[in-house]
Structure 1
């Protein structure tokens, strides 16, 4: 063989192998797919734990565990019992986009702490109709059980942080609107000591900072100690395209704080709206055992119309600290630099730990063979008693019909798991019969109380019909497709196939041998416009009438494909 051909062949093989090696040593953002906004992270030895906002959903405050920062396992929830959520912390009839906002998770001397806000709007109150309840829950194990909420009276605002200083003091770092704001939306970060024995704020309240770039919607504070100084990191600019992360420094925890001249340290406001991810911000920093630093931050994938059904997801960004180089400066500060080579959240990044392989779970499947509900299932608000059962029929989940329908502040027989990609095939097999007219059961793709798509089998005067109901944002619910199920005998497979343009709704009456298409609609009807992402789930209602009806689900499965 010609030597030039050999050299060329070897160079091609080296290039291929190096590319394969590079792929094997990278991870893909987001690290938590689906509606996991406002990430906060802590480290215990070589274990990492992350918590996220959940707003009106229950169980609330999902806790994930990782050994390598790229593979995460859902291990429990901070609010996992009804009695944690039906008092001062109200997730029973909370308004949409109310509920649990921006938690912080920290570990100190054998105890895990989560501090967060419950936001509750009361339409019957004429003055100050929105209550902000800031509270702490604790646990010895991150899997739980977690304590009852310890409410901190006299703590205004949202997004609290808890900081354990080296001198033994514990500090509350909060957000509120100042008494005399210079403009609408101006925020201010404040500081006060916490008495953890009595669960109350104590001492003088200190006002620290109003942000770096005008202070518009300053929120999400986190305090850190680095290089002997205090660093205050905040979110700013709102949760859309102008979202950003800012940071300031002080020699004293009580201030004054000096803004980083290179702020913002993370944002997409300087990038095209068509970049693969936007609205990055609301971040938390973590130092690894070997001294390196990383950041977790939310971001929105631009899959459809520069947004996605999944809403705000959690991303991982490498960070390094750099000291100011200016010779004329008397004091030279260290500042964190996010994604040092590019300054933006990249889809592909080198793994934090050599030899790590990111394992993507591209399928969710539940055959309901356990006596406890899979942790992935969520409800809009604390579910009503007798909403479901795993024991009434072996190997099935029984969802009981309830007179309630999906409505604002309401609780219905509705449950689901987070949608994690724009492209998916979602199928359920169910058994449903009812003698009572207008009872219906089936699947639901839902964002909010006013934004969902239901494909349900409904008992008609004679026989059964299959209908597709659409509740588009700010519009009335419409039935846009309806088929008579002449051959229906009580068993059906319902399927949604989501591609780049449409949702295709299909069904099978012969155990999946043949599917018939009910209809297709555009895939942008349940785009996230608020704080949460879309869910894929099941629904059953008797439409205002009392009923003994129910539906049995044999299995649920969803296969995902990443939109490139």
Structure 2
């Protein structure tokens, strides 16, 4: 029997939504303030997942000015076999101030997972985490969390379901409140409807997005409920199985629910799929904190568990427990790919299109500021706003997928002002990053320099700078469990030289950025990037010869 090792998609890949069409599986994940929005991963064996597409790649959403952790939340994939259409529902979280949580939800469709996708169809602004269900009679339904803002009412709200006319783009009838949450953990969200043997099943994320996270299940003979809870009274999937009463708590880190017996933490927010072999699996998010800490630089990753139906019609993990595992039994009779999928990244920019893994925070990727055409064989990035900007940063980044790796590049840059920079770095959001770069010194010419942002504070490593001959340098960052060391070399194939060693960047993690006490500051994860800044005349550009990430 083959074994699947978790996480199946390492690095920032939260809120996975899984479907099967034929013998091919697809997972969509949240993208928050990153463009292109909503990444789609593809697999044939449930173990090896390849990034194959993105959905929001034509300016459908404006993410400029997005505060952490708003943006694109909880995409839900579905397939309508009658119309032979893929559907994607998602929320655009616009504002989280005052816990008002202004969110607009949409749906899009395509006849091919790679697109073209339709224009977004407006669903509702009642809450967030929408999902579509296509019933056997041809009717369609939307389930979503109705966000509650009133003092003294159920927090964070109720799960509601309504029939939706996908052709007309409107609600049919009214919203039906179906549950306040199935267990005492509360914070029920991300509702998804499934049908099994003539009963409707409602799958929920619960317990908040922290260490108490879990997957809950209820069932009903009517799609609008009432839904009876799972007889265990507990989540069917979690990393922290001990009982918790937090009903009414809108969300929290719940650091007290850390499970010291498990590598995997925060298992929750699941999505079900039935295989071509008749077996059932659930894709769900998880995290792996740095040893000895409660900090998760890689953010929330995607894992999978094997499930089965009990004789009395309830779903549970194959081993009968509810504790998510790092190793899972694979599909019967399906051999895993021999070499598996490498999560290393390398692009020498010799093709017209750069690697699909590159994402950009807050703004769209447009040829006017990033392209391989102006200088073939290089990625040219025209400098714009500073890295603190949430409007027009010129950043090309990839998800960090290991706690031990190195990232490097070679950059040619000809600055003539100290406000012009180009280089390599680590990035969480506009307030939190590390940046080694070439810039202009009025006394030294082009120099290598380091800037850091921590919780919005600008930090200059003023005692570390070195002249750069011929305006060209290779740069490397070695990352090890929250500690970064910067190296450089000049000329071809020279020895790497240490520049700045052992920088504490552990704060570049979900729990280390901008959070209130007891809360989680972000839901994304660490990225590696190349980029350029021109706060002078917007007339400079940097040419990157290659970009590579090697995991250990």
CA displacement at 1:292 relative to structure 2: 0.8
Q: Which residue of 2 aligns with 1:144?
A: 115
Q: Does 1:531 align with 2:519?
A: no
> 1:513 aligned to 489, 494, 497, which one?
494
> 2:543 aligned to 542, 552, 556, which one?
552
Distance 1:341 1:256, change over 3 A: closer
The 2-side partners of 1:307 and 1:525 are apart by 8
The 2-side partners of 1:350 and 1:214 are apart by 30
The 1-side partners of 2:545 and 2:410 are apart by 5
The 2-side partners of 1:293 and 1:430 are apart by 48
The 1-side partners of 2:16 and 2:122 are apart by 22
> 1:118 aligned to 84, 92, 111, which one?
92
CA displacement at 1:151 relative to structure 2: 0.8
Q: Which blocks of at least 5 consecutive residues in structure 1 are unaligned? A: 1-21, 324-332
Q: Which residue of 2 aligns with 1:338?
A: 317
After TM superposition, list the pairs within 5 Å mapping 1:128-277 onto structure 2.
130-153=101-124, 155-178=125-148, 185-214=155-184, 216-262=186-232, 263-270=234-241, 273-274=259-260, 275-277=262-264
- Deviation track 1:323-345 (CA, whole Å, cap 9, x = no partner) reads 3xxxxxxxxx4111124255322
After TM superposition, list the pairs within 5 Å mapping 1:384-533 onto structure 2.
386-402=368-384, 404-407=385-388, 409-462=390-443, 463-472=445-454, 474=455, 476-480=457-461, 482-486=463-467, 488-500=469-481, 502-520=483-501, 521-529=503-511, 530-533=522-525
The 2-side partners of 1:268 and 1:181 are apart by 31
Q: Which blocks of at least 5 consecutive residues in structure 2 are unaligned? A: 243-257, 512-521
Q: Which structure's CA Rg is the greater one?
A: 1
Instruction: Normalising by structure 2, report the TM-score.
Output: 0.89
The 1-side partners of 2:491 and 2:224 are apart by 69
Q: Which residue of 2 aligns with 1:57?
A: 34
Which stretch shows the higher mean deviation, 527-536 or 236-245?
527-536
- The alignment yields a C-alpha RMSD, in angstroms, of 2.1
Distance 1:181 1:261, change over 3 A: farther
Q: Which residue of 2 aligns with 1:328?
A: none
Distance 1:411 1:189, change over 3 A: same
Distance 1:252 1:301, change over 3 A: same
Q: Which residue of 1 aligns with 2:294?
A: 306
Which stretch shows the higher mean deviation, 293-302 or 71-80?
71-80
Matched pairs, number: 517
CA displacement at 1:499 relative to structure 2: 2.4
CA displacement at 1:206 relative to structure 2: 1.1
The 1-side partners of 2:187 and 2:42 are apart by 31
Distance 1:249 1:342, change over 3 A: closer
Displaced runs of 4+ in structure 1, greater than 4 A? Answer: 127-130, 178-184
